A = this chain, B = another copy of it.
Amino acid sequence: MPLKESPMAQKAVVLLSGGLDSTTVLAQAQMDGYEVYALSFDYGQRHDSELDAARIVAQRAGVVEHKVVPMSLRSIGGSALTDMAMDVPEVASEGIPVTYVPARNTVFLSIALGWAEVIDADAIFIGVSAVDYSGYPDCRPEYIAAFEKMANLATKRGVEGRPVRILTPLIDLTKADTVRLGVRLGVDYAATVSCYQANSLGEACGLCDSCRLRIKGFAEAGVADSTRYVG
Contact = CB atoms under 8 A, between A and B. Distances in A.
A46 to B, nearest CB: 17
B153 A137 contact: yes
Chain A interface size band reads 35 or more
A151 to B, nearest CB: 7
Nearest to A13: B76
Q: Count copies of this chain in the complex.
A: 2
B73 A114 contact: yes
Contacts of A199: none
A197 to B, nearest CB: 21
30 contacts: A70-B72, A71-B71, A73-B111, A76-B115, A78-B117, A96-B159, A100-B156, A102-B113, A102-B115, A102-B118, A102-B155, A103-B117, A103-B154, A105-B154, A106-B150, A107-B107, A107-B111, A109-B110, A137-B153, A137-B154, A138-B154, A138-B155, A140-B153, A142-B153, A143-B154, A146-B149, A146-B150, A146-B154, A147-B154, A149-B150
